[in-house]
């Protein structure tokens, strides 16, 4: 394999490699290529791919592979995702869905008798023994490798092996435990799911990836090596998607599942296909917004924007009580629409355009202006946030916005393979007969919302985020911050946010208590977070006047890197 530049041991066709890059947390402005994501080492992998002659897709896929190595709880080869790709000179604007699906072995209603309760967010289900939450039966069919392979082979310019190799070198050569990664290990779930630390103890053979010999969690800065993951990536680098969905890796997966009662089977791996999709289009304040169709939540974002266009948000003032109450009410209505109107188009009768129908959006705006409110009968939102994102623009203006995830961590790592599987089965309803039901081959609704904003025919912004049900809410506010409030992209991403995916309005700690009190005085239930940065972690690029500006969410420890 050849790689012009990679993270460990720089190689180049030139004698002297000079990196024109700026490491920042707020933002960086350039007129060349730029990569934005939550994991600095993975961002550097993407940037070096651009330096080696790769395009935006090459860089995004290389970054995604590296994210799976350095931040294994948030993504990896046993995860899933979706992406938008824009190549203006070639007239390309495409989408690709590589979301998880239920294995063929599931039987509708097979766990109905184990149902204890639905989680407060309405997104997951707690069963006796946590059989759907972590462990072998929590694993859905992954799509990440197939998706990344299809993207790179269709749009990339580098040899496939060169795109995978930097992640391989990170796995074998070693990567550092960052503060953001370590903090994720200690997340305590208050919605009834298993806590993360229990997930990490699921596979003792790989305890060294997370724990010291005395059983304590590894300290920030510890260098970890994962030769088994490196070997898996070497197979994928050599054989493409078949290196995961067939051959020795698929053999090891299917044998491990059979030994331990997993639902994922060899036929699921062999028959999985990523799905090319056509972006949906909406409009806001003279701009065009493109998103991906269901089962993503792109249509939900378009609904919120189309409804908010009937309000003078700028005059209200940013994050005033009027502003928060108005936008939160729009969020709640859009969340209800998501839960009732968005499903898997292969199984459900879905009309995406009806979700953001102009007449419905105007009607809801009128109702909000009259003081009418909707109610969602649950407490707050605790959807899993084990997701990550990468936004890339290259020097030719080609752009990729891609979100990928494990959904939740199964805690399972097959001996000899080195990667953790998704735990996405817990998102399905064990009761049969609805759009969220656990059924063979069904793809569950996801909050992923990779988005692009255009001024006329010119790309102005691309963005996306991890953050569970908060993803569309976070992306919405960054768009509003730029288009309504005139913020720079770094200020737009860093500004304090709020979210209302349920009856409770969640507010950042940086929204002053006197503002929160004023919102509560209007009769709203509020929950002011202890965290300064919350409501998704948006990673965005803004383009204008021949210059790209990138911003990584300050709450995630990521960066924007220009080359």
pLDDT at residue 191 in the model: 54
Q: What is the pLDDT of residues 451-499, one digit of tens each?
A: 999 999 999 999 999 998 899 999 999 999 999 999 999 999 999 999 9
Backbone angles phi, psi at 113, to 5 degrees: -70, -10
Backbone angles phi, psi at 451, to 5 degrees: -135, 155
- Banded pLDDT at 30 (limits 50, 70, 90): very low
- Banded pLDDT at 21 (limits 50, 70, 90): very low
- The answer, yes or no, to whether residue 310 has pLDDT greater than 90, is yes
276-381+448-537 sits in which CATH class?
mainly alpha
pLDDT at residue 488 in the model: 96
- The answer, yes or no, to whether residue 27 has pLDDT greater than 70, is no
- The answer, yes or no, to whether residue 527 has pLDDT greater than 90, is yes
Can you read off the two tokens belonging to residue 4? 């012009």
- Banded pLDDT at 316 (limits 50, 70, 90): very high
Q: Tell me the percentage of the chain whose pLDDT exceeds 70.
A: 90
- Banded pLDDT at 375 (limits 50, 70, 90): confident
- The answer, yes or no, to whether residue 1 has pLDDT greater than 90, is no
451: three-class secondary structure by DSSP:
strand
- Banded pLDDT at 546 (limits 50, 70, 90): confident
CA distance 2 to 49: 12
Can you read off the two tokens belonging to residue 475? 């992306």
CA distance 203 to 72: 14
pLDDT at residue 377 in the model: 65
- The answer, yes or no, to whether residue 523 has pLDDT greater than 70, is yes
CA distance 138 to 199: 11
Pairing mode, if any, of strands 451-455 and 223-224? unpaired
Q: What is the pLDDT of residues 387-414, one digit of tens each?
A: 899 999 999 999 999 999 998 888 899 9
Among residues 541, 562, 287, 284, which one has the least CA distance to residue 400? 541
- The answer, yes or no, to whether residue 5 has pLDDT greater than 50, is no
Can you read off the two tokens belonging to residue 425? 């089965």
pLDDT at residue 96 in the model: 98
- Banded pLDDT at 188 (limits 50, 70, 90): low
Q: Tell me the percentage of the chain whose pLDDT exceeds 90.
A: 73
DSSP 262-326: -S--HHHHHH---EEEPPEEEEETTEEEEEPPTTSSHHHHHHHHHHHTTS-HHHH-TT-HHHHHH
Q: Where are the beta strands (DSSP E) in 99-217?
A: 115-118, 125-127, 175-176
- The answer, yes or no, to whether residue 240 has pLDDT greater than 90, is yes
- Banded pLDDT at 199 (limits 50, 70, 90): confident
- Banded pLDDT at 135 (limits 50, 70, 90): confident
Lowest-pLDDT choice from 142-151, 374-383, 418-427 = 374-383
Q: What does the pLDDT average to over 259-284?
A: 97
Count CA atoms within 13 Å of residue 405 on its CB side: 29
Lowest-pLDDT choice from 42-56, 233-247, 317-331, 435-449 = 435-449
Question: Do the beta carbons of residue 128 and residue 403 sit within 8 Å?
Answer: no
Domain boundaries, the chain: 62-272+407-427, 276-381+448-537
Report which of residues 263 and 197 the model is more confident about. 263
Across the chain, mean pLDDT equals: 89
């Amino acid at each position: 394999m050849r790689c012009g530049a990679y993270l460990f041991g720089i190689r180049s066709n030139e004698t002297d490699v000079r990196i024109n890059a700026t490491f920042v947390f707020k933002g960086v402005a350039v007129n060349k290529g730029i990569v934005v994501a939550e994991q600095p080492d993975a961002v550097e992998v993407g940037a070096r791919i651009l330096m080696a002659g790769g395009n935006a897709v090459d860089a995004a896929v290389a970054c995604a592979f590296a994210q799976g190595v350095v931040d294994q709880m948030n993504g990896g080869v046993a995860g899933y995702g979706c992406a938008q790709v824009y190549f203006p000179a070639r007239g390309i604007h495409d989408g690709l869905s590589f979301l998880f699906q239920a294995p063929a072995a599931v039987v509708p209603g097979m766990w109905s008798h184990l149902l204890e309760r639905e989680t407060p967010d309405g997104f997951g289900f707690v069963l006796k023994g946590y059989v759907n939450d972590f462990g072998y039966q929590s694993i859905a069919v992954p799509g990440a490798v197939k998706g990344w392979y299809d993207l790179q082979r269709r749009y990339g310019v580098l040899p496939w092996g060169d795109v995978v190799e930097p992640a391989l070198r990170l796995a074998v050569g070693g990567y550092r435990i960052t503060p953001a990664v370590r903090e994720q290990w200690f997340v305590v779930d208050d919605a009834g799911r298993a806590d993360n630390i229990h997930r990490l103890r699921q596979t003792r053979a790989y305890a060294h990836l997370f724990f010291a010999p005395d059983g304590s969690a590894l300290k920030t800065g510890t260098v970890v090596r994962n030769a088994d993951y490196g070997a898996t990536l070497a197979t994928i680098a050599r054989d493409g998607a078949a290196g995961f969905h067939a051959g020795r890796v698929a053999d090891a997966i299917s044998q491990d599942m059979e030994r331990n009662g997993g639902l994922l089977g060899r036929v699921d791996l062999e028959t999985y296909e990523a799905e090319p999709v056509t972006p949906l289009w909406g409009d806001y304040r003279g701009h065009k917004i493109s998103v991906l169709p269901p089962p993503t939540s792109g249509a939900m974002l378009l609904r919120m924007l189309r409804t908010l266009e009937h309000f003078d948000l700028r005059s209200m003032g940013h994050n005033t009580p009027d502003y928060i109450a108005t936008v939160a009410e729009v969020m709640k209505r859009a969340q209800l629409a998501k839960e009732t109107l968005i499903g898997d188009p292969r199984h459900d009768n879905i009309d995406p355009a009806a979700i953001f129908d102009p007449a419905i959006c105007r009607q809801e705006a009128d109702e909000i202006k009259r003081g009418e409110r909707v109610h969602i009968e649950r407490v707050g939102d605790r959807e899993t946030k084990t997701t990550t994102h990468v936004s890339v623009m290259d020097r030719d203006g080609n752009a990729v916005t891609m979100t990928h995830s494990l959904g939740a961590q199964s805690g399972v790592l097959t001996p000899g393979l080195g990667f953790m599987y998704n735990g996405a089965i817990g998102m399905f309803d064990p009761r049969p007969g609805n759009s969220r039901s656990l059924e063979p081959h069904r793809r569950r609704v996801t909050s992923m919302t990779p988005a692009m904003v255009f001024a006329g025919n010119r790309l102005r912004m691309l963005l996306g985020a991890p953050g569970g049900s908060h993803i569309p809410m976070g992306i919405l506010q960054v768009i509003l911050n730029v288009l309504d409030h005139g913020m720079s992209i770094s200020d737009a991403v860093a500004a304090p946010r709020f979210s209302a995916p349920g009856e409770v309005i969640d507010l950042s700690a940086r929204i002053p208590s006197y503002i929160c009190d004023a919102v509560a005085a209007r009769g709203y239930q509020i929950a002011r977070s202890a965290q300064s940065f919350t409501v998704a972690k948006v990673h965005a690029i803004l383009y204008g006047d021949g210059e790209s500006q990138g911003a990584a969410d300050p709450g995630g420890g990521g960066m924007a890197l220009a080359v």
